[in-house]
Amino acid sequence: MDVARLAGVSQKTVSRVFNDEPYVSAEVRRRVLEAAEELGYRLNNAARALASGRTRSIGVVTLGTALYGPASLIMGVERAVRDSGYTVRVVNTVEGDPAGVAGAVDSLLDQGVDGIVISEPIDDGHDGDLSGLVDVPILVLGAPPLPAPRALAAGVGAALMARAATEHLLDLGHATVHHLAGPQRWYAARDRLEGWRAALAAHGRTVPPVVEGDWSAASGYAAGHELASDGDMTAVFAANDDMAIGLIRALAEAGRRVPDDVSVVGFDDIPVAAYVNPPLTTMRQPFDAVAQEGLKRLVHSIENPQADPLPASDPPVDLVVRASTAPPPPRMTPGRARRTVSPPSGGRHSPPPNGGASTHN
């Protein structure tokens, strides 16, 4: 190694300097650094990985989507990985891909990652056979741990958040709350459904039939037309903001005003949520907190193979109340009020002055 020669030391000493190992005199360190600088030297990662058996990289498996939730989580994960001194390797899966998550994990293993993060997975029946292959720690975000020997999970508190969202509507006085669910292949969608159901059960309310969307505003729009025909419906908890926005549009077309006739709660707090019409009440997801906490536990497992994994903690609940929720309208007659064809009523150009106002809870 040229740097060693130029600095007049052994190769191993150079290695020590670059790894911040102890037992290097300040003088020698200086000489080595100087020589390295002069030669434009940089550590060769491949050689390092080969000799040490560790790549200092963490693989990330994500569903290839620009959906706000998954994308935000991934940003958080990348930052957290880098803060831990690791590098990131990414593999996207495509929904419907037969190889799916298992294939992605396999390719990451090929690349020799020291640990794996799986984000926002869907349960398509293709995973589950990872038990034998995976010998590195593996963290699953927003789902139960995979059946692998060194599995961890984080961010499974979605049910709690969904429950809080539902209870916000019940607290406003709504008799019950409808649910516009996400695709049930997604763990996150199932968690939210479950939290909603739990809230209704805890308060002894009737459980209306569930309408399922696919996360998109388009599916929320379709669901909205379906739900609008139910004259008794006064409140909807949508499993994400995009669907809530589509839903609100369909309700408006059907002559049901939000929040006057129907209250709507979303989930995620996407950036435009405060600016749509009306501004959306929604559950804010603590993406960064989940990513950071999960990563801390993953890195701990990587670096302390023997020790017990660190315990998980529940993410905080953070409801942002805006203008899409209100008390239910007064009931007009004991029977079903026929308001499906209610004509457009009055002017509507003075929405509540709350562009970005938000209240936490």
Count Cβ atoms below 10 Å from residue 153 Cβ, excluding itself: 19
Closest CA to 320 of 291, 292, 286, 290: 286
Q: Name the binder of 86 from its own copies, DNA, none, CB < 5-8 A by kind.
A: none
Nearer to DNA, 41 or 79 (CB): 41
Nearest CB to DNA, comparing residues 24 and 310: 24
12's contact among its own copies, DNA, none, with CB below 5 to 8 A by partner kind, is: DNA
In whole angstroms, the minimum distance from the beta carbon of 240 to DNA comes to 44
Least gap, CB of 314 to its own copies (angstroms) = 23
d(C-alpha 45, C-alpha 13), whole Å: 17
DSSP code, position 356: S
125 versus 132: smaller Cβ distance to its own copies: 132
Residue 15 Cα to chain centre, angstroms: 40
The tokens 């509540």 sit on which residue?
A: 352
**Residue 29 Cβ vs DNA, minimum distance, rounded to whole Å:** 7
Rounded distance, CA 296 to CA 80, Å? Answer: 8
Distances (CA, A) of 132 to 41, 135, 143, 148, 349: 40, 8, 20, 7, 62
Least CB distance from residue 213 to its own copies, whole Å?
A: 12
Binding site for its own copies (CB under 8 A): 42-50, 55, 57, 64-66, 68, 71-72, 75, 78-79, 82, 87-92, 94, 107, 109-112, 216-218, 220-221, 242, 245-246, 249-250, 252-253, 255, 257, 271-272, 274-277, 343-351, 353, 355-356
Minimum CB distance to DNA smaller for 18 or for 230 = 18
Residue 88 interacts with which of DNA, its own copies, none, CB < 5 to 8 Å by class: its own copies
Residue whose tokens read 């037309």: 225
Give the one entry of DNA, its own copies, none that residue 351 binds, where binding means its C-beta sits below a cut-off of 5 to 8 angstroms depending on kind.
its own copies
- The enclosing H or E element of 290 equals helix 287-303
The answer to whether residues 70 and 268 touch, using CB atoms and an 8 Å cutoff, is no
CB of 84 to DNA, least distance (A): 18
Cβ-based nearer residue to DNA, 52 or 342: 52
Q: What's the min distance (Å) between Cβ of 361 and its own copies?
A: 21
Q: What's phi and psi for 182, nearest 5 deg?
A: -85, 175
Cβ atoms of 133 and 106 within 8 Å: the answer is yes
Residue 191 binds which one of its own copies, DNA, none, with CB within 5 to 8 A depending on kind?
none
- Among 215, 159, 153, smallest CA distance to 185 is for 215
The entry of its own copies, DNA, none near residue 242 (CB within 5 to 8 angstroms by kind) is its own copies
* Beta bridge pairs of residue 63: 93
Q: Which is nearer to its own copies, 156 or 276 (CB)?
A: 276
Partner that binds at residue 33, options DNA, its own copies, none, CB closer than 5 to 8 Å by kind: none
State which residue, 5 or 338, has the beta carbon closest to DNA. Answer: 5
Q: How many CA atoms lie within 13 A of 96 on its CB side?
A: 1
Angle at 150 between CA 187 and CA 307, to 5 degrees: 130
* Residue 332 C-beta: closest distance to its own copies, Å: 19
Residues that bind DNA (CB under 7 A): 1, 8-13, 15-16, 18-19, 22-25, 27-28, 41-44, 47-48, 50-52
Nearest residue to 267 via CA among 308, 317, 341, 200: 317
Residue 166: CB partners within 8 Å, gap ≥ 6? 177, 179, 195, 196, 199, 200, 237, 265
41 contacts which partner out of its own copies, DNA, none, CB within 5 to 8 A by kind? DNA
Q: Which does 18 bind (CB under 5 to 8 A by kind): its own copies, DNA, none?
A: DNA
Compare residues 47 and 66 and give the one whose CB is closer to DNA. 47
Triad 156, 161, 164: Cα angle to 5°:
150
129 or 303: whose CB is closer to DNA? 303
